[in-house]
Amino acid sequence: MSWRETKKVLAVLVAWFVLGGTAPLAYGEIRISIGVTETMETFNPYGDSVALLYSIWCQVMGCLGTYDFDKGEHVGMLVERWEVKDPNTWLFYLRKNLRFHDGSRLTAADVVHSFNRISNDPQSKQKQNIAPVASVAAVDEYTVRFTTKQPTAPLLEYLFDRFIVTSKTIGAGPYKFKELIPGQRFVITKNLDYPGMREKKQAPDEVIFRIMREPEQRVTALLNGEVQIAQFVPPHMRVRVERNPNLKLVSFDSAEIMFLAMSPKFKPWDNKLLRQAVCYAIDRDTLIATLLRGEATRLDGPIGQGQYGYDPNLQPRYTYNPEKARELVKEAGFPNGVDVDFYTPVGRYTLD
């Protein structure tokens, strides 16, 4: 099994708004610039499989629903309610006042089209997310029926952050796409026709996501006022932010997790004893204290507090025990150890 750490978010609130390269907004409107690690390569919402981009696409295209980590429950977005008719049949009821950005109404047929596109689009990287679904059908104009291949209790986890589009890839979310320059930035603007958005005065009128892969680049941009929010501010750079009187840094637990994945589909991780050996071989408490400067909460399982399915009573407990790890490696049939390759992203994790 994998081991994970729940990272604490270092949220930065900035007192200035210095932004270049974009057109001015009307007086009183709010523009926010965010330094992020991931780029958006295409206008195809199904061509991405990165969590951050899922969140952005959901704001633009609209999703059936989302997961509220504070409440620990699923909440509807485009759907107002849902029910389980039998172990393999789920009904979802759409809100009736929703429109796409071109003014056309959102109906059950659009939901069916979207989920079929996830399966059939050759560029789709999300086909695994609807693997349990056998069929999708429109019962009436605002009701969608999902039939599963077998009873699937966590079906909402598969369906809720999938994006709903028309055949022209037009969204129905609270924000609209304005600009995309792959590798540089992408920009979204407030959709005032989305229910309730006119009343949300504090919701930004424009959000600019600037691609900054390196932590140093993101923190420097914060200090210079080029961005107001930076994704993944490393703990070892925290003091630079705290010294700036224009910045306020707030630390809190997030849903972001750091993990080492060992898939049993591939050798040598198909051997359970080797996976257990890794869990005993890594001193996670020391990693948190040193690399993360204490800005993390240790987890003993693949699901963190607040996430769907979390149960503190079911978490396996692995302590740091290198001798136990060596014994398990030998018991697994590798008396001289085993060489493995590790793959990791660049610029995302602390001190990588």
- The DSSP annotation for 52-85 comes to HHHHHHHHHH-BSEEEETTTTEEEESSEEEEEEE
pLDDT range class, residue 125, cuts 50, 70, 90: confident
Q: Is residue 345 part of a domain?
A: no
Quote the tokens at residue 91. Answer: 């009904």
Domain contains 325 = yes
With 90 as the cut, is the pLDDT of residue 328 above it?
yes
Can you read off the two tokens belonging to residue 328? 């398990």
Q: What does the alpha-carbon distance between residue 94 and residue 76 come to, in Å, rounded to a whole number? A: 9
Residue 6 clears pLDDT 80, i.e. is over it:
no
Task: Please state the φ and ψ torsions of residue 25, each to the nearest 5 degrees.
Answer: -95, 165
pLDDT average, residue stretch 138-161: 94
Q: Is 119 among the domain residues?
A: no
Shortest CA distance to 89 belongs to which of 141, 140, 132, 142? 132
Average pLDDT score over the chain:
84
Quote the CA–CA distance of 221 and 35 in Å, as a whole number: 8
Whether the model clears a pTM of 0.85, i.e. scores above it, the answer is no
**Of 60-64, 252-256, 288-292, 325-329, where does the model show the most confidence?**
325-329
Q: What is the mean pLDDT of residues 98-125?
A: 90
Q: Is residue 32 part of a domain?
A: no
Q: Could you read off the pLDDT of 13-30 as tens digits, one per residue?
A: 443 333 333 445 554 688
Beta strands per DSSP E along 158-221? 175-181, 185-190, 206-211
Q: Which residues constitute the domain of residue 269?
A: 3-8+254-331
Q: Is residue 141 part of a domain?
A: no
- The structural domain count of the chain equals 1
What's residue 110's pLDDT?
95
- Domain-embedded: residue 273: yes
Q: Is position 320 within any domain?
A: yes
The answer to whether the peptide bond before residue 215 is cis (omega within 30 degrees of 0) is: no
Q: Is residue 288 part of a domain?
A: yes
Cα gap 167→275, rounded to integer Å: 45
Helices (H), the chain: 51-61, 108-120, 155-159, 215-224, 238-242, 272-281, 284-290, 322-331
**CATH code assigned at 293:** 3.10.105.10
